[in-house]
Amino acid sequence: MHEIRMRYRRFGRTNLQMPVISCGGMRYQYKWDDVDPKDVPPDNQANLEATIHRAVELGINHIETARGYGSSEMQLGYVLPKLPRDKIIVQTKIAPFADPQEFLATFDKSMRYLQLDHVDLLSFHGINNRALLDVTLKKGGAAGKRLDFIAQELNREANTLASKAASQELSDCAMELKLLVEQMREQVQNIE
């Protein structure tokens, strides 16, 4: 029998290797609304978890969801923390809001539901008209908050790199990354 292997492609301008097939979280949620975890039927949760485990076994390590997918994030929060974090790419999407604090509160809710300390990809969800684009890009809007998120993630990576630095070269690289993070934070403040 011929073994089929997952294929990967470079994600944009990053070095992130993305599988050509992703495991999307829109359809395996129990409800389109937030629900109490005890209301999720055990067979529904078991099916979701089996789907995730099988996807990862097959090399489909990009797990995608969104705050707008009802109970999807909450249900994923029961399986994702059990997987090797360095072996999965977790993405969530959040709709832009006129109030950037509402965007941040929604992101915080996503993180609580996912039960992770970070996501690998954070996207804007449902920008399908000019008004939503304007809200997203306005001064002090969601785009600036997303840049701040990116700066936080880079800072986390720099701290991890610095703590594991086995050579002066790696330590220097971590310091350069920290300087870039600070420059990015300044740029975010200028946007806001």
Q: Which amino acid is at 89?
A: I
Give 20's contacts (C-beta < 8 A, 6+ positions apart).
6, 7, 8, 9
Q: Is the pLDDT of residue 177 over 90?
A: no
Return d(Cα 159, Cα 184) in angstroms, integer: 16
Question: Tokens 């609304």 belong to which residue?
Answer: 33
Q: Is the pLDDT of residue 45 over 90?
A: yes
pLDDT tens digits, residue range 120-169? 888 877 777 777 777 766 666 665 555 566 556 656 665 665 566 555 66
Region of 171 please: left (phi>0), alpha (psi -120 to 50) or beta: alpha
Q: Between residues 56 and 180, which one has the greater pLDDT?
A: 56
Choices 3.40.50.261, 3.20.20.100, 3.20.130.10, 3.30.360.10: CATH for 1-138: 3.20.20.100
Specify the pTM: 0.70
